[in-house]
Amino acid sequence: MQELSELIESARLAFAQAEQPAALEDAKARFLGKTGALTALMKELGKLPHEERRARGQEINRAKAEIEALLNERRTAMAEAELAAKLASESIDVTLPGRFRSEGGIHPVMRTWMRIEEIFRSIGFDVADGPEIESDWFSFTALNNPPNHPARSMQDTFYVDRVDEEGRQMPLRPHTSPMQVRYARTHTPPIKTIAPGRTFRVDSDATHSPMFHQVEGLWMDTNVSFSDLKGVYSDFLRRFFETEDLVVRFRPSYFPFTEPSVEVDMMFTSGPRKGKWLEISGAGEVHPNVVRNYGLDPEKYIGFAFGSGLERLTMLRYGIDDLRLFFEGDLRFLRQFN
């Protein structure tokens, strides 16, 4: 009796210590297998006197049944633990926020770009595009810049480690004006185009960024006068700002590539920003030397050009006061435009 209950206890312990199914099967063999402890006891039954055999046999069988029950209990517990672990590792936390791909939006400067294209296309302007790494000739010489003009200097213009056909170091275009020349040289009058794009200058503060956007405009024909410039540009501003309540002023200025040259200013006459003149663009009648560089006869062809900053137009349209917001990529800012 004593011996059998000790056997049961050591089986319980062995089964409990088995951590893997294989270890449990090993333990089972030690007690219930062909060479196991219980089988050994059974074999000894034969040596017992006949009268004791039956009672002993029953005791052993009860112990065997108990050990089998312990084994099954342990097997079930092991299977349940395994299942629980599997479920835990594969579980889905439905309270976690879902994974999603956010939708892109249109940058406010890009919206301005698109609006400008739409407005100018509607009055018959073509839209042109050109290189951001320009030759010295298109950037400056063709635009009637004297060789020592400050715009060429390293202080204003970024240069790339590359030379053009003339062997001169190439700038990142500091304005879109080279596109006047590129477009005019490859088209025949009447020429009516805008060229929006990226421009670069060594400049960085609340109102200047080393990379910014301009749109160049050019209309050349036999009779395109300064009053055409006034009409087209004023009309553009009214459509761009979607209001009739603004006035436009053409203030005398200087550019090497236009004569006469002006700064275009505008002022809202109603709304929160009324009553303040705002500088918006450079413009003028194309200088005869530049017309010549277009490959055209300045005695025959005349027209106007303008160059306006897209960031500036965007800031005025939406009342944004810091240019740097455009380039920081802060979604709280950008989402307001989508």
Q: Which residues make up the interface to ligand PHE (CB under 6 A)?
A: 175, 177, 255, 258, 282-284, 305-307
226-241 as b/e: b if 16+ CB within 10 A: eebbbebbbebbbbbb
- Using Cβ positions, the residue closest to ligand PHE within the complex turns out to be 307
Q: In this complex, which beta carbon is closest to ligand PHE, that of residue 258 or of residue 293?
A: 258
Q: Check: CB of residue 166 under 8 Å from CB of residue 147.
A: no
Taking the complex as a whole, the smallest distance from the CB of residue 306 to ligand PHE amounts, in Å, to: 5
Taking the complex as a whole, the smallest distance from the CB of residue 307 to ligand PHE amounts, in Å, to: 3
Taking the complex as a whole, the smallest distance from the CB of residue 201 to ligand PHE amounts, in Å, to: 9
Q: Check: CB of residue 255 under 8 Å from CB of residue 239.
A: no
Q: In this complex, which beta carbon is closest to ligand PHE, that of residue 64 or of residue 287?
A: 287
Taking the complex as a whole, the smallest distance from the CB of residue 269 to ligand PHE amounts, in Å, to: 26
Q: In this complex, which beta carbon is closest to ligand PHE, that of residue 37 or of residue 262?
A: 262
Backbone region of residue 275 per phi and psi (left: phi > 0; alpha: psi in -120 to 50; beta: other values): left
DSSP annotation string for 202-249: S--BTTB-SEEEEEEEEEEESS--HHHHHHHHHHHHHHHHT-S-EEEE
Taking the complex as a whole, the smallest distance from the CB of residue 332 to ligand PHE amounts, in Å, to: 32
d(CA 291, CA 299): 9
Residue 277, phi then psi, degrees to nearest 5: -75, 135
Q: In this complex, which beta carbon is closest to ligand PHE, that of residue 11 or of residue 177?
A: 177
d(CA 294, CA 235): 27
Q: In this complex, which beta carbon is closest to ligand PHE, that of residue 141 or of residue 258?
A: 258
Taking the complex as a whole, the smallest distance from the CB of residue 177 to ligand PHE amounts, in Å, to: 4
Q: Check: CB of residue 56 under 8 Å from CB of residue 45.
A: yes
Taking the complex as a whole, the smallest distance from the CB of residue 284 to ligand PHE amounts, in Å, to: 5
Please report, to the nearest 10 degrees, the dihedral formed by the alpha carbons of residues 307, 311, 315, 321 taken in order.
-120
Q: In this complex, which beta carbon is closest to ligand PHE, that of residue 196 or of residue 284?
A: 284
In the chain, which ranges are continuous DSSP H helix? 2-17, 21-32, 37-44, 50-90, 108-122, 136-139, 178-185, 226-241, 288-293, 310-318, 325-328, 331-334
Q: In this complex, which beta carbon is closest to ligand PHE, that of residue 39 or of residue 253?
A: 253
